[in-house]
Structure 1
Amino acid sequence: MFASKLATLTRNPPRLLNLPSLARSSALLNAKSTLAVARNLHSLSRQRPSALSQNIALQSATPRGQQWRGARWDRYTNADYGSKRGSSYGSNPNPGGFFSRLSPEALVYSIIGANGVVFLVWSSAQQRQKSFGDTKLLRWMVDNFSATYINLTSGRVWTLLTPAFSHIEPMHLMVNMFMLYTFGTDMARLLGPKRFLMFYLGAAAFGNLLSDLIRGIYLPAKTGNYRTAAQPAIGASTSVVGTTTLFACLYPHATLQLFFIVPVPAWLATAGFIGWDVYRVMRSDRTRVDGAGHLGGAAAALGYYWFRLRPLIRRMR
Structure 2
Amino acid sequence: MKNKDYILQALKEADDYLSGEDMAGKLNISRAAVWQAIKALRQDGYRIDAVTNRGYRLFENHEALDAAIIKKHLKSELKDVAVLVKNRVDSTNDAIFREDAHAPLPSFSFMAAEEQTAGKGRVGKSFLSPYGMGLYLSTIIHEGDVSDPALLTITAAVALKEALMAQTDEDIKIKWVNDLYCNHKKIAGILTEANFSGGKARYVIGLGINITTPEGLFEKQSLPTAGSLGAAISRNQLAADIVNALHTWIQRPIDEILNAYRKYNLTIGKTIRFAKGDIEYTGVAEAIDDDGALLVAVEGRTLRLSAGAISIESDW
Q: Kindly name which structure, 1 or 2, has the bigger radius of gyration based on alpha carbons.
A: 2
Same fold, TM exceeding 0.5?
no
Specify which structure has the higher proportion of strand. Answer: 2
TM-score, L = length of structure 1: 0.28
TM-score, L = length of structure 2: 0.28
